[in-house]
Amino acid sequence: MKIVTAIKSEQGSAIALVAIGMVVMIGAAALALDAGQLFINRARLVNALDSGVLAGAQYLPDDPELALQTAQQFARLNGAVQDECDFQIGASNCSISGQADRQVTLHFARVFNRDFGQVKARAAAKVAPISSTTGIVPFGVLEDDFEFGKIVTLKAGAGKNHYPGWFGALCLTGNGANNYEKDIRNGYDGQISIGDIIPVENGNMSGPTQDGIEHRIDQCDHSPCCTVNSFQEGCSRILIVPIVKIHQINKGNSPVDVKVVGFAAFLVTEYTGSGDENTVKGAFVRYVTTGGTGGTPGDYGLYSAYLYE
Ligand SMILES: [Zn+2]
């Protein structure tokens, strides 16, 4: 009799232990689900803020109002709820930051009297002049004080060149008309940095210049057509060019190569003249693209926007 009672008592202990163990395990799993909710909500908030500040930075330093509006718009498109994010413009209109906190409803932590959890996030982006980039076109524009919106000659025609034999063409991918035209059409796919020495391409190169530039102009199918006052980001008519100074000059007073001192963007406005007269002109614009920002590059209105927080 005593033995049977003892066995029954052992069974009772085991059941109690299993029951306690299950409560602990279910409780831990439930808390993990709540923790997951907090994690996901914070990740969404970070994503919304990152997208907001990066999109807003595209309009800095020129238009801080538009930068703030754009930041809100992109934050909402990327997971923020209405007015959840707060954005501010930083010093010199060169940075934008944003922060948000969100209350997350908890389902299982209620057993510990916690109905809500709070998640916070912050992001900041800045724009800085570019010191290295890819996709440049093979026109060397001599350094000058450019004025935004003004038309600048990117490649000169005969009689308008500053140096004998050199009309502004550069040798990027390699010598010859085919490489030169390819670099105008697609942009040079290698990276060029401030301080790089680039050999010049002698001669007027009128045929490949015309074909390459006409291709860039034709590829803009934006409606209305891009103008200096209103153009689409990434438009084929935006030409990224190196701003250069002459590095070596030969005995005939013709440049051998040039040194890169900065980068600028021009919206190509016209291709004029046939044969040796052909000239490419573009309007000097502020533009944000991707590229390195190391060192203290000259500011020629071409910026990179990047997250720094
Ligand atoms: Zn366009």
- Exposure string (b/e) for 61-98, b if CB count within 10 Å is 16 or more? beebeebbebbbebbbebbbeeebbbbebeeeebbbbb
Are residues 92 and 210 both part of a single domain? Answer: no
Cβ pair 304, 293 in contact under 8 A: yes
Residues 272 and 139 in one domain: yes
- DSSP bridge partners of 24: none
- CB atoms < 10 A from the CB of 32, how many? 11
The secondary element (H helix, E strand) that includes residue 68 is helix 64-77
Are residues 26 and 115 both part of a single domain? yes
Distance between Cα 161 and ligand 1 center (Å): 29
Q: How far apart are the CA of 216 and the centre of ligand 1, in A?
A: 9
Q: pTM of the predicted model, to two decimals?
A: 0.77
For residue 170, name the pLDDT band (cuts at 50, 70, 90): very high
Q: What is the mean pLDDT of the chain?
A: 89
How many folded domains does the chain comprise? 2
Examine the fold and report which residue of 97, 112, 127 is the final residue of a domain before the chain moves on.
127
Residues 72 and 178 in one domain: no
Residues 108 and 184 in one domain: no
Beta bridge partners of 305: 127
Which of 235, 294, 292 lies closest to 265 in space, CA to CA?
235
Q: How far is the CA of 184 from the centre of ligand 1 (A)?
A: 16
More confident call, 51 vs 2: 51
Q: Residue 140: its pLDDT value, please?
A: 96
Residue 196 has pLDDT above 90, yes or no: yes
Summarize the confidence of residues 109-135 as an average pLDDT.
87
Q: Are residues 119 and 157 in the same domain?
A: no
Cα of 227 vs centre of ligand 1, distance in Å, is 8
**Cα-to-centroid distance, 238 and ligand 1 (Å):** 8
And the tokens for 272?
A: 């004029």
**Do both 89 and 136 map to the same domain?**
no
Look at residue 197 and tell me whether its pLDDT is greater than 60: yes
Ligand 1 centroid distance, CA of 169 (Å): 24
- Is residue 1's pLDDT more than 60? no
The Å distance, Cα 254 to ligand 1 centre, comes to: 36
Distance (angstroms) between ligand 1 centre and the Cα of 226 equals 4
Domain range for 8 is 2-127
Q: Are residues 138 and 76 in the same domain?
A: no
For the segment 153-164, the average pLDDT, to the nearest whole number, is 86
User: Looking at the structure, do residues 122 and 137 belong to the same domain, yes or no?
Assistant: no
CA 264 to chain CA centroid, nearest Å:
15
239: CA distance to ligand 1 center in Å? 11
Going from the Cα of 269 to the center of ligand 1, the distance in angstroms, rounded, reads 11
Give the pLDDT confidence of 204-235 residue by residue, as tens digits. 898 999 999 999 999 998 988 899 888 988 89
Q: What angle do CA 104, 108, 114 make, to 5 degrees?
A: 60
The 10s digit of each residue's pLDDT in 253-307 is 899 999 999 999 999 987 777 777 789 999 999 998 888 888 878 889 999 999 9
Identify whether residues 71 and 173 lie together within a single domain. Answer: no
Output the DSSP codes for 162-220. SBTTB-SBB-SS-SSHHHHHHHHHH--SSEEETT-EEEB--S--HHHHHHHHHHHHHH-
228 C-alpha to center of ligand 1: Å?
10
115 and 136, same structural domain?
A: no
| Cα 144 to ligand 1 centroid, rounded to whole Å | 26
* 118 vs 12 pLDDT, higher one: 118
pLDDT band at 10 (very low <50, low <70, confident <90, very high): low
Alpha carbon of 5 to ligand 1 centroid (Å): 90
Which residue type, as a one-letter code, is found at position 266?
A: F
- Pair (282, 216) in one structural domain: yes
Write the CB contacts of 256 (distance below 8 Å, at least 6 apart in sequence).
199, 200, 247, 248, 249, 250
Query: How many angstroms separate the alpha carbon of residue 218 from the centre of ligand 1?
Result: 9
How distant, in Å, are the alpha carbons of 97, 128, 259, 302 from that of 307? 9, 11, 30, 17
Residue 131's pLDDT is: 94
- Quote the CA–CA distance of 230 and 252 in Å, as a whole number: 43
**pLDDT > 70 in the chain, percent:** 94
Kindly give the distance from the C-alpha atom of residue 288 to the centroid of ligand 1, in angstroms, as a whole number. Answer: 15
